[in-house]
Structure 1
Amino acid sequence: MAIPVESFFLPQGGSGTLQQRIRQMVAEGILSGRFRAGEKMPSSRGLAEHLGVSRITVTLAYTELVSSDYLTSRGRSGYFVSEGVPVQPAFRPAPRAAGTVDWEAVTGRRFSGMERVERPEDWRGFPYPFIYGQADPALFDHQNWRLCALQALGRREFETLTADRYESDDPMLIEYILRNILPRRGIDARPDEVLVTMGAQNALWLAAQVLLRPGGHAVVENPGYPGFRAMVAQAGARVTPVPVDEGGLVVEALPGGVDVVFTTASHQSPTNATMPVARREALLRAAEERGFIVVEDDYEFEMSFLKPVSPSVKSLDTGGRVVHAGSFSKSLFPGLRLGWLVGPAPFIREARALRAQVLRHPPGHVQRTAAYFLSLGHYDALVNRMKAAFRKRRQAMEEAIAEHGLKVAGQGGFGGSSFWMEAPGAVDTEALALRLRGQGVLIEPGRVFFHPGTERRNFYRLAYSSIPLGKIPEGIALVARAMREV
């Protein structure tokens, strides 16, 4: 039996090349049971005409499907669904019962109930995405990343690709972090003082789990990164919010009896304030005198393009009281999920053991690809390109904000990738964000950054990391107009 050509269609907006999408379309049809073993496929010419693609694209897709044993080629007779493809079971799943477990009560929503910054999954489809933390494909070095990935997946790297390293990390990546990444932050570390993590979020979670016990006491910045509050809560510790000003965390406001202080000294999240060196030294003196640990989130360190960077808190630490967490999420791309923890060897030993219980280690080929990209100089070139682009976008946003009379609450003096904004007191920025979304504009309401009970609903964040330069003035004009209407 021949499969009619009308059985095939390519949905709009699919990912991958045309050849990949055709291959996926056929494979899904076979695996779902719509196309059965022995049935004849449409000719490559007929399918190409039906789909509106070139014949060679269909031929190449068919060839790949033959090599994967989804199809077989029978000389001049054409292509047929292979006899060896997986088939669906003959039975049907039983109707799903309503269930008798109250899963809300069982789980307590201890994890999904934590608030986080929300953004639509299809944010790239919006013309004015003032959202934070996403990679700009126009700036990324696709070609060299692809070459590094191919090198990491090659036969010579088979052991790195396939081996279970148990609790260890890729020595090539560790070496680069020790020799290039950390010295830029003023940090001198040994291999046993560094742990590779699945991004900064994973690094900070590991730190919270190791350093905090149930009943412990932690300080977070207010406003600050919502993830800190979630991590402290999951560790069973008490959390105290401490205010920030134009210099970041206010050291004089630290309470007594604290065990761990979480801070973003490079670029405070979300205000972008950079902690002065004098205040960093004051924080370390307080840590020594009161006996607490400092967890430093190396947030946007690489994006200091207006002034020379300041030494990290960890680099000033002489008493071994600072744990430093960083990642490549902002400088490479968030989907990479690769970061690091730096701390005294006994702390790293415990963090490594905890990581092993959860995920052993980040995938070997991901670590090796990043190591090649960094060691061959592509990383530095990418960071320089991003800094130059962000400088121009920041200037355009500053000019547009001033032109339309919007109020900046915090922009930082070193760079970063966003502005912390303050609307008139009566404006609810969550309602404003919904209104703007209908006009193709995405902003980030600020309420979620404040500790519960101290919320301010008239703050919001405008990021320029993902929006094209030419879209900024018009997007800011729409924000200002919606603000006036509200």
Structure 2
Amino acid sequence: MSIPVETFFLDPKAQGTLQAQIQQMIAAGILSGRFRRGEKLPSTRKLAQHLGVSRITVTLAYTELVANDYLSSRGRSGYFVSETAPEPMPDRPEMPDGDPVDWSHAIGQRFISNFAIERPLDWSKYRYPFIYGQTDPTLFDHAHWRLCALRALGQKDFGAMTADYYDQDDPQLIEFILRHSLPRRGIHARPSEVLLTLGAQNALWLTVQVLLTPQRLAAIENPCYPALRDILTQSHCRLAPVDVDQDGLLPDAIPDDSDVIFTTPSHQCPTSATMPVARRRRLLQRARDMGALIVEDDYEFEMSFLSPASPALKSLDADGRVIYVGSFSKSLFPGLRLGYLVGSEPFIREARALRASVLRHPPGHIQRTAAYFLSLGHYDAQIRRMSKVLAERRAVMEQAVRDYGLDIAGARSFGGSSLWMRAPEGTDMGRVAKELMQTGVLFEAGERFFNGPDAPKNFFRLAYSSIPADRIPEGIRRIAEALR
């Protein structure tokens, strides 16, 4: 039996090449049971005419499906659904009304945050996206990243791409971090003191699991990185929020019985305050006196375009009590999910064992691609390009903020990619943010960054990393108008 050509149509919203779309269309028909084993497909010429594509495109799609055993070719007779094609997926059984599983009882631990990030997936379609942590495609060096990815797919790097490292990492990437990334921060380490992670958040999770117990006390900044607070809450450790000022975390306000201190000294999250060197030394002495460890999230240090970056807290540490968290996800693109931990060897051994039991290691192909991108100088070139553009955008935003009378709460900063803002007392910026979404303006309300039930609602964060400079003034005007 022949399958009518009218059965086939291309979805205008589908992604991928025409060849890939045709392959997916036919494979989906076989897996759904619409196309059965032994049935004949339309000729390549007939299907090409029907779909309005070239005949070679259809031929290539058929050939690939033959190679994958979805189709078979019978000499001059044409193409047929293979007798050994995958079995159609069984219909999903009808579920009874209601859920027979009592999930409120079945779930032993809860991980959903009360302040999850509310960011539309189509944020780039909004006219005024003051959204933090997203990639501006005009700033990313896609061409060189693609070339590095292709190089990492080559036969020479086949082992790096396909091997199970178990608990180890790509030696080329580790070498670059040791010889280039860390020395720029004044840090010197051995391979046994570095561990790759799936971004900074994964590094923080590993650190919390290794260092903290329900009996131990963690000191965190207030306001802080919300994902860190969620991780600490899930660990059931005791939590001590410590207020920050224009220079970041206050060392003397840290409780005496703190076991681990979490800080973002380069650009405090979310205020962007940079901790002066004198305070960094005071923090180290405070931790030494208490016998506490410090976890330094070197957040956005690459974006110090207003003044040179201060030395990392880890570089001032003579005791090995600082654990350093670095990431390429913010400076390259967030979907990369590639970061690293630097710490004393006993700590890294435990973190490595935990990582191996959960996810083994970050994908080998991603590690090798990043190693090429970094070692060939493309990363440094991108940082210079981003810094120049972000400095220009920041100048435009600061001028617009002054013109429309808005209040910057985190004024002292060495750069970064956002401004920490304060609205008049009593303003609910969460409500304002939802209203302005309807007019194409996106930004983050600040309530979720604070600890405790009485978190102020009048703060908000405006990022300039994802919005063109020429749209910033109008977006700021709309925010100011809404606040009035």
TM-score tier, shorter chain, comes to over 0.9
Q: 1:90 to 1:104 in 2, by over 3 A?
A: closer
The answer as to whether partners of 2:426 and 2:458 remain within 8 angstroms in 1 is: yes
Q: 1:75 to 1:128 in 2, by over 3 A?
A: farther
**How many aligned residue pairs are there?**
484
Normalising by structure 2, report the TM-score.
0.94
Q: Which residue of 2 aligns with 1:161?
A: 161
Normalising by structure 1, report the TM-score.
0.93
Indicate the SS of the match to 1:410.
Answer: coil
Q: 1:189 to 1:86 in 2, by over 3 A?
A: same
Q: 1:279 to 1:53 in 2, by over 3 A?
A: farther
Per-residue deviation, 1:399: 2.0
Q: Which residue of 2 aligns with 1:32?
A: 32
Q: Which residue of 2 aligns with 1:253?
A: 253
Per-residue deviation, 1:102: 2.6
Q: Which residue of 2 aligns with 1:323?
A: 323
The answer as to whether partners of 1:216 and 1:236 remain within 8 angstroms in 2 is: no
Q: In the aligned structure 1, how far is the partner of 2:90 from the partner of 2:102?
A: 33
Per-residue deviation, 1:53: 4.7
Per-residue deviation, 1:227: 1.5
The answer as to whether partners of 2:199 and 2:337 remain within 8 angstroms in 1 is: yes
Q: Which residue of 2 aligns with 1:82?
A: 82
Indicate the SS of the match to 1:118.
Answer: coil
Per-residue deviation, 1:29: 2.4
Q: Which is worse superposed, 206-215 or 35-44?
A: 35-44
Indicate the SS of the match to 2:409.
Answer: strand
Q: 1:19 to 1:385 in 2, by over 3 A?
A: farther
Q: Which residue of 2 aligns with 1:281?
A: 281
The equivalences for 1:28-427 within 5 A come to 28-44=28-44, 47-48=47-48, 50-51=50-51, 53-74=53-74, 78-88=78-88, 93=93, 95-96=95-96, 98-107=98-107, 110-113=110-113, 115-427=115-427
Counterpart code for 2:413: G
The answer as to whether partners of 1:411 and 1:418 remain within 8 angstroms in 2 is: no
Counterpart code for 1:450: F
Q: 1:404 to 1:60 in 2, by over 3 A?
A: farther
Q: Which is worse superposed, 143-152 or 95-104?
A: 95-104
Counterpart code for 2:17: T
Which structure 2 segments of 5+ residues have no match?
none
Per-residue deviation, 1:287: 0.6
Q: In the aligned structure 2, how far is the partner of 1:106 from the partner of 1:16?
A: 41
Counterpart code for 2:427: V
Per-residue deviation, 1:458: 1.1
Q: 1:240 to 1:33 in 2, by over 3 A?
A: same
Q: 1:14 to 1:130 in 2, by over 3 A?
A: farther
The answer as to whether partners of 2:33 and 2:89 remain within 8 angstroms in 1 is: no
The answer as to whether partners of 1:427 and 1:458 remain within 8 angstroms in 2 is: yes
Q: Which residue of 2 aligns with 1:438?
A: 438
Q: In the aligned structure 1, how far is the partner of 2:22 from the partner of 2:208?
A: 46
Deviations 1:14-61, CA, capped at 9 Å, x for gaps? 333343333323322222222223334345555455555555544443
Per-residue deviation, 1:97: 7.1
Q: Percent identity?
A: 62
RMSD: 2.2
Q: In the aligned structure 1, how far is the partner of 2:454 from the partner of 2:65?
A: 58
Q: In the aligned structure 2, how far is the partner of 1:289 from the partner of 1:438?
A: 52
Q: In the aligned structure 2, how far is the partner of 1:47 from the partner of 1:472?
A: 49
Per-residue deviation, 1:334: 1.3
Counterpart code for 2:473: P
The answer as to whether partners of 1:32 and 1:88 remain within 8 angstroms in 2 is: yes
Q: Which is worse superposed, 102-111 or 139-148?
A: 102-111
Which structure 1 segments of 5+ residues have no match?
none
